Amino acid sequence: MHIRLKRKPSLPHCTIGDLYIDDEWFCVTLEDPVRQIPDVSVDKWKIPGDTAIPLGSYMVVINDSPKFGRPLPMLINVPGFSGVRIHPGNTSEDTEGCILIGKEAQGESILESRAAFGPLYERIREALDSLDKVHITVENA
């Protein structure tokens, strides 16, 4: 299973994007602002708790989240970041580097996050249960 997150230019407090599964549009995303500087190490541009993850491709697993107390999708080996999850939320206040998903973007927020998350979680879980690898590619539009 291949997930692609295509980011739009950052707004003052967040970055909105579109999430595709196997090249089919699935939902909108919200992340912290993109601060990445090409060819500069993460520690030079990251503001902890207020920065989107670097562009790239990452393996996705589902495991228990101590913070949320339930299994959630997690991105593996994100340079300079740990515990990057895909989870419900509506604004940049709901993320510390994670990817939030929703059905619609409105200004600097997304709507119907839980309604979008359930089907995404099921698709990822089903792929992993059938021993399919799940990858996400994060790119700029």
120 contacts 114 by C-beta, under 8 angstroms: no
Regions of the chain where pLDDT drops below 50: none
**What is the predicted pLDDT for the residue at 141?**
84
User: 6: Cβ–Cβ under 8 A, 6 or more apart, which residues?
Assistant: 17, 18, 19, 20, 139, 140, 141
**What is the predicted pLDDT for the residue at 102?**
98
What are the tens digits of pLDDT across the range 76-110? 999 999 999 999 999 999 999 999 999 999 999 99
79 contacts 42 by C-beta, under 8 angstroms: yes
Sign of the torsion formed by the C-alpha atoms of 102, 56, 63 and 83: negative
Domain definitions of the chain by residue range: 2-140
**Which residue from 46, 132, 44, 52 is spatially nearest to 98, judged by alpha carbons?**
52
